[in-house]
Structures are given as structure tokens and as C-alpha cells.
Amino acid sequence: MYLELQHLSKNFEGKTVVKDLSLSLAEGELLCILGSSGCGKTTTLNMIGGFLRPSSGKILLDGQDITAMPPERRPVTTVFQSYGLFPHMTVLQNVMYGLKFQKMKRTQAREKAMHYLELVNLSEYANAGIYEISGGQQQRVALARALVVEPRLCLLDEPFCNLDAALRVKMREGLKEIQRKLNMTMVFVTHDQEEALNLADKIAIMEQGVLTQYDSPMNIYRRPANDFVREFLNLDELVWSDEGALLKVIKK
Amino acid sequence: MNKPNKPFEKKTNGLKRERASSDALFFGKRSFSGPFSGRELAGYAVDRLLLAVILGSVCLFVLYPLLCIAFRSFNGKDGTFTLANYGETWAQYGTSLWNSIFVGVLSAFFCTIFSVSAALVVSTRRGWMKLLCMGILLVTMVSPPFVASLAYIQLYGRRGWITHGLLGLSWNPYNKWGVILMQSVSFVPMNALFLNGILAKIDGDSIKAARDLGASPASILRDIVLPQMKPGILVCLLLSFIRSLADYGTPVIIGGRFSTIASDIYYQLTGYANLEKASVLNMFLLLPSIGAFFLYRRLLRQSDALVQSSRGKQEQLQLRLGKCGLLGGLIGLASGLFFVMMILQYACIFSTGFIKVSKTGNRFTLQYLRQLLKTDLNTMGRSVLYALIVSLVGTLFAMIFSYYMERRKVPLRQGFDCLVTLPYMLPGTCFGIGYILAFNHPPLKLTGTALIVLANMLFKQLPTCTKICSATLKQVPLAQERAVHDLGGGQMAVLRDVILPGLRPAFLSCFSYNFSSSMTTAGAILFLIDPARKLAVFKLFDAVYTGDYAVASLIATLIILIVLAVEALVYWITGKAAKPRVS
């Protein structure tokens, strides 16, 4: 498989935050790690991104062991929850920044960055300052900045949680479209089950550091692994037919 | 540990305020009959009177003295307008002006390098190194002036412990390089703590993002961290330059024959007392200071716009300076040099007071301490008393002032805000001579009284206090104020039940700032003080100037200890107040 997490564990001062987590993901798929806060999903993401060293276990990307690789050399980029944009640079400079370390010529880098700004519909804001644009636009700058370096894997840490509900739906659609267009493998962390259901090819549900269920959204909805998943996704509201079709939603 | 307590505190506060409002509902007689009740009228009158007193005293104690300097500098012998004073002074003190600029530029440059390095080291280090560096910065912050010069003479002077004792050199330390070195070092703590505040606000995710995109630590420092510090670094350059221009103590003590405008003003005021010439010299300082002041406000706004709107959580700056290449190495070197010099300086000051130097060798003695306690204890007592008065009155003044500025429509609001902040950048000599010129004749003859000294301290420290208060006041919801009005309370009720309780956290920080500043600033006070009512800082300057180093060290040590004790007390009270009072 393209991305493989093998028996990942992480302890902080004797407390186990992630416990023996294994999963694998095919190229071009979007994985959602879903769970309530404190379940270890962001820790898992930080280990894949290289900001945390796992206490034990391995991370393989395209067959290569990247467990010990520092983030600056890892072909993985992250869209941070607070975006982490550089406030002293313009939109275009933000997007271009990563290309500097690929030894790309300035004119070429500018062209490529503009191309990615077009991809996220922001080319007219190229020369704007970071604080002159809205939160949704900032989010798209962060996405373009992470994608322009053509990472082998892109991580997103609750990227829409600072946006209002209507914008969130719009951004969600945009993200899915871009992900398909670039055939980008993505890992997306969220606590919003609707988001996960809409975006994911695979959903990983975590509870207290343990991977409770890992499957396609449909399979999870039809066959929740345990009561926690059933309750977390409000599956008691759904009534299925014997053939597997959804019969009714009972609002409780 | 602090955080979980906060919501609790808010809650109790909220409850208390709610009760206060309901008290007003039940007991505050709300008259529906007449347009104004007598009580309402009285409240209105007190409110207007308070505003008038506040704004009036700002004009009287900030604007008027400065205008006096300007008028006096154009004053001819027969009271007519003339430019002759300027011509004469220029001819006589032209070199001093160039000296001031030379020293100012170099001091600002070196000081900024030290400050940036120290701030970066303090914010990226963890554990005992960080604690040690922070501790050193805090001790230097509460140190009286002149201690750097004192230590300089003791360590690197003609009979210096290092230059003579260790290296066997015999050289003349009294020159401009000594002045530049000591100024560069002694302005660092304030700058470093200011820059540290900026560094703490840099979005941790932006550092992570840069790493993620392939940036090495050196690139992160160069591309992300330093550019975000840029307005702050410019502020440091500017502040250090102005402080260097205004500093008369260092050139007077260790400048030797080398003189600057500030030291010339000192000699003019203490020796020849030519007020016209002193006024002109002060204009040379005043004009660049006022220019710098407006630049400073602009830079601060830029800096705030850059880092304050960062959305990320504030965490420790994740950067390994050791891996930042040549630049990181230089930063480490500069900060190492600075901290070693500081350790030497304070070791020297704390020990000088207890060592008796003789031909047969140095030995420990309590002789100087006994001498000091016998003769100078009331001076120290007076210093503490003055500091306490200024702390209380100044803090209250700042609270009320910031309330009117933040929440009320005050005529010429911008102008007053600017005027109150101006003394922050004013050289002490300007502020001092302004007071002498303004208050040495009836109807306001204040020279020689304690009042002039207290007022000077208060208004010099007001800018920082109003800033603290305004920032705190912005956190008090406007709705509380409206609620009081809604329930029938007047303007005074708002002040009493909403504004002052809301400003409680600001009170303690203003108080401790006021106290330590009053205990340690020399600036203008040296010119205003009555010889019969000396303060500790004045005695300290005397002792350094006359070469009484042991006594000087003891005074300095005592001042540092007193200020630290008061700060610790305030810190303790703050900690206690922050605890939820739930039984």
C-alpha cells in the first residue's frame, strides 16, 4: 500500500496517547481520522508529518521508511488548523516559499505558484497581504502552499474548523475536487462526522488513542464495530433494509 | 495551572457585578418625576470635574513645561524673541552634538544586536538556562542607573579587578568607547523583554509550516522569525538611540573629557545655571525625541498588526539556535558575551560593598554597611515613601485617564492620548528643566518641594501605566457599563462598580511598575531634588561620582533588594487574587 502505519504508539510522560495503531491507504485516496477531542488524532497526524517521533512503530510511504525523517526532508506537507501563514509575506510569497528549497528559479517558481493560486481560485489576491483576505481565503492559501511543492502526501488538521457552516460546505467541495484533480493522497483530521462522510474514501475512528474501526464510510455506517461508533455517529437513528438500503431516519 | 482558574475568577466577578447592579436596582432611587434628581446632577458635576482635573493636569505637567523650554530657548536678554542663543550654543557645543549622534548610533547598533540575541536565546531555551537568563534580565530591569558605570570602573578601570588585577594592564578607561559599551549593555534588558513579548506572539504553526516545506533552522530564522521581529527591532534601535542621547550619567561618570549634549546639560544645570543655553541644548534633544516618538508609535502599530493577529496558539518558539549556522553562532556569541558581562557586573556590585581593599589584600567587612545604615537610612525611607505615593496616585490617575480615553467622548482625544505618551520618549533632562522653568515662580512655585519630584515621576511613568490600563479595559465588556445605566446608575456608578473592579488586574502591574521605576529612575529627578530631601538614587550618583564605590554598591544592592521584595509581594498578591474564592 502507499501509506502504511505499522503499530504506531506514542507516550507522553508515561501516558499513552496513541496505542498500537496500524492502517494502510492506497495512492490517491483520502483518509479521514475521526474522533472527539483528545482521542489522539492530531498526535497521529503529527507523527505522520514528522513533528513528533513515535515511541514505537513505523511509518512507510511508498515503501520507504520515513519514521525518523525530519519534517523538512519528508515529502509530506501539512495544512495547519490555524493555517500557520507567514504574516510578513504576500499571498504569492507564501505559496512560493516552499519552492525555494527545491532550488527552483524565481520566475519558474512564481509561475507555478500562480498556477496553484488559480487552482484554489485566488489568483486575483496574489499580491494581497495575509490579513487583507478572509478566513476562508487564508485557508485556501494554506492549501495552495502545501500542494505547490507536490508532496507525496498532504495532511490536513481540522482545516475548516475556523470557518462558518455554509463556507465549510463550500470549501469541502472545493477540496474534494482538487484532491481528485491532482490525485493527491490526503489524511484529514476532523471531529465532524458529516465532513468525514462527505470527503473520505476511508474513515478511521479513534477513541482514547485506539483505532476502533477503519473502513469505507458505507461499511462503517452499515456495520459499526461497537457501541462507541454507533453512538458517536448516531447510527441508532438509521433503519436499514435487509438488502442494505437505508429505509428511514428516525430523529430522536 | 493558572488557566483553569481564570473562568472561575470571571464567574465570581460576574456574580459580584450582577449583585452590584441589582443593588442599584433596589436601592438606587430612580426618579421618574423630574428630568434630573439632585443626586444625578451631583454625579454629573463630579464626572465633569474629574475629567477637567485629569486633562488639566496633563496639560500643566506635560505640555506646559515643554512649551517653557521652547520659549526660553528663543528668549533674548531683554525678553525679546531671538535666535542668538542657538548660534552661541551651536558654536560652543557643536562637537558635543556630533559626539551625541556618534555615541547614539553606535550604542543603538550594538545594543540592538545584544537585545535581539538575548531575546532569541531566552525564548528558545528551556529549563535552567532560560530561568537564569530571565532572572538576570529581571534583576537588571530593577537596577538603579549608574550601576553599569560603577561596575565598569571597578572591573575594567585603572585599578580594575580584571584589567589591572587579572591582566596587569594600566590604562585609562575614561573615554567614549567605555560610554558606548556601557550604554549598549545597560539598555538591553528593556529591549530584550520587549522583543521577547513579540517572539512569544509569533504563530508556532508558521514555524512548523516552514519546516514542513523544507526550511532549515537557519532559513526559518532568516525568513520567518527575523522578518516578523523587524518592526520590533527598529523600535529597539530607536529607543536605544533616544536613551543614549538622553543619558547623562554614563558620560559624566566614565566619559572623562568626552562630552555629549546630555552631559553638557548636566554641567550647565548643576554648575553654570545658564537656563537659556540649557534650554537650547534641550531643544537639540527634544526635537529628535518628538520625531522619534511618532515613528515609534507607527512602528508599534506595524508590529502589532504583524504578530498580534496571528491565530495560532502561543507556544514556546521551536527553533534550535545551535543549528542556525553562522547567524545562530553569532547570536549565541553575542548573548553569551552579554550574560557573562551581566553576571560579572552584578557579582562585582554585590561584593564591592563588603570588601575592604588594602595593601595586604582584600578582606570581608561590614564597616560600610554599618556606616550606610547609620547615616542614610532615612534617605532610603524617603525613597520608598515617594515611590509608594507615586505608585498609588499614579496608578489611580492612569486608571481614570484610560477610562475617559477608552470609553468616553473626550474632546481632542487623540491629542491627549499622544500628549500623555510623549514623556515616554522624553529625555530626563528635558523633562527636568521643563519643570524648573515652569514651576519656579508664583503662582505655581513648586521648586524645592516634594510635589515637583512626585509629579515628575508620575507623569514620566504615566505612559506605560495608561497603556496597561487601556489594554485591560478593552477586556471589560461594554454591556456591563450599559447594564449599570439601564438599571439607573449614573456615570459615577459605572466608574465605581464596573471600571475600577474591571481594572483590578491592571492595578497590580501598574503598581509594581510604578514602584520599581520610582525607586530606580534618575532622569529628571537629579535636577529637581531639594538637597535637604535627598533620595537614594541621588545619593548613589553622588557616591559613584566622588569615588565612594563601596557605599554606592551598597545603596544599589539595597535598592535592588527592596524593589525585588515589593515585586515579589505584588506577585504573591496577584497569585492569591487569581485563586477562586469558593468556599
Q: Please give the model's pTM, rounded to 2 decimal places.
A: 0.81
pLDDT exceeds cutoff 80 at B490:
no
CA distance A240 to chain B (A): 43
**pLDDT (0 to 100) of residue B366:** 76
pLDDT tens, position by position, A45-98: 999 998 889 999 999 999 899 998 888 889 999 998 888 888 889 999 999 999
Q: Largest Cα–Cα distance of chain A, in whole Å?
A: 61
| Pairwise CA distance, residues A97 & A72, whole Å | 13
Structural domains in chain B, CATH included, are 37-75+366-578 (1.10.3720.10), 95-352 (1.10.3720.10)
Listed in order, strand segments (DSSP E) in B379-504 are 440-441, 444-445
Return the ∠ at Cα B474 (arms to A164 and B189), rounded to 5°. 110
Average pLDDT over residues B447-474: 88
Mutate to test the interface with A, among B202, B206, B303, B304 (most CBs of A within 10 A): B206
Answer whether A84 sits within 8 Å of B207, measured CB to CB: yes
**pLDDT (0 to 100) of residue B308:** 64
Phi-psi category of residue B513: left, alpha or beta, with phi > 0 → left and psi -120 to 50 → alpha = alpha
Listed in order, strand segments (DSSP E) in B254-375 are 355-356, 363-364
**pLDDT (0 to 100) of residue B314:** 54
Average pLDDT over residues B163-169: 74
Answer whether B212 sits within 8 Å of A77, measured CB to CB: yes
**pLDDT (0 to 100) of residue B82:** 78
Number of neighbours of residue B270 by Cβ within 10 angstroms: 11
* CB–CB contacts below 8 A, A to B: 88
- Alpha-carbon torsion (B144, B243, B457, B249), positive or negative: positive
Query: pLDDT category, B577, cuts 50, 70, 90?
Result: low
Query: pLDDT category, B421, cuts 50, 70, 90?
Result: confident
**pLDDT (0 to 100) of residue B397:** 92
Answer whether B213 sits within 8 Å of A162, measured CB to CB: no
What's the grid cell of residue B61? 505637567
Q: Using the 8-state DSSP alphabet, how is residue A32 labeled? A: E
pLDDT exceeds cutoff 80 at B530:
no
Nearest to B209 by CA among A63, A144, A67: A144
Q: Tell how strand B355-356 and strand A76-79 pair up.
A: unpaired
In the three-class reduction of DSSP (H, G, I as helix; E, B as strand; rest coil), residue A30 is classed as strand
Answer whether B208 sits within 8 Å of A51, measured CB to CB: yes
Query: pLDDT category, B28, cuts 50, 70, 90?
Result: very low
**pLDDT (0 to 100) of residue A95:** 93
CA distance A241 to chain B (A): 47
Report phi then psi at A71, rounded to 5. -55, -35
Q: Helix, strand, coil shares of chain B as percentages rounded to 5?
A: 75, 0, 20
pLDDT exceeds cutoff 60 at B34:
no
pLDDT exceeds cutoff 70 at B20:
no
Q: Largest Cα–Cα distance of chain B, in whole Å?
A: 92
Tell me which of B508 and B360 has the higher pLDDT: B508
pLDDT tens, position by position, B244-266: 988 888 888 888 788 888 888 88
pLDDT exceeds cutoff 60 at B310:
no
> Nearest Cβ partner of B205 from A82, A97, A100?
A82
pLDDT exceeds cutoff 50 at B298:
yes
Number of neighbours of residue A208 by Cβ within 10 angstroms: 15
> Nearest Cβ partner of B212 from A78, A89, A162?
A78
| Pairwise CA distance, residues B297 & B313, whole Å | 26
Number of neighbours of residue B566 by Cβ within 10 angstroms: 20
Numbered residues of chain A with Cβ closer than 8 Å to any chain B Cβ: 49-51, 70-74, 76-78, 80-89, 97-98, 100-102, 131, 142, 145-146, 149, 162
The mean of the pLDDT values for chain A is 88
B370: Cβ contacts below 8 Å, ≥ 6 apart = none
Query: pLDDT category, A24, cuts 50, 70, 90?
Result: very high
pLDDT tens, position by position, B379-404: 888 889 999 999 999 999 999 899 88
CA distance B217 to chain A (A): 9
**pLDDT (0 to 100) of residue B337:** 92
- Listing DSSP states for B531-551 in one string gives TTS--HHHHHHHHHHTT-HHH
In the three-class reduction of DSSP (H, G, I as helix; E, B as strand; rest coil), residue A20 is classed as strand
Average pLDDT over residues B95-121: 92
pLDDT tens, position by position, B54-88: 899 999 999 998 888 888 888 777 777 778 778 88
Numbered residues of chain B with Cβ closer than 8 Å to any chain A Cβ: 203-216, 219, 223-224, 227-228, 230, 305-307, 309-313
Chain B residue with minimum CA distance to A50: B212
Which range, A111-115, A129-133, B3-7, has the best average confidence (pLDDT)?
Answer: A111-115
pLDDT tens, position by position, A124-140: 999 998 888 988 899 99
Answer whether B209 sits within 8 Å of A80, measured CB to CB: yes
pLDDT exceeds cutoff 80 at B25:
no
Average pLDDT over residues B191-209: 88
Average pLDDT over residues A179-188: 92
Answer whether B228 sits within 8 Å of A87, measured CB to CB: yes
Nearest to B25 by CA among B492, B495, B487, B491: B487
**pLDDT (0 to 100) of residue B19:** 39
Answer whether B306 sits within 8 Å of A84, measured CB to CB: no
**pLDDT (0 to 100) of residue B33:** 47
Complex ipTM: 0.82
**pLDDT (0 to 100) of residue A81:** 86
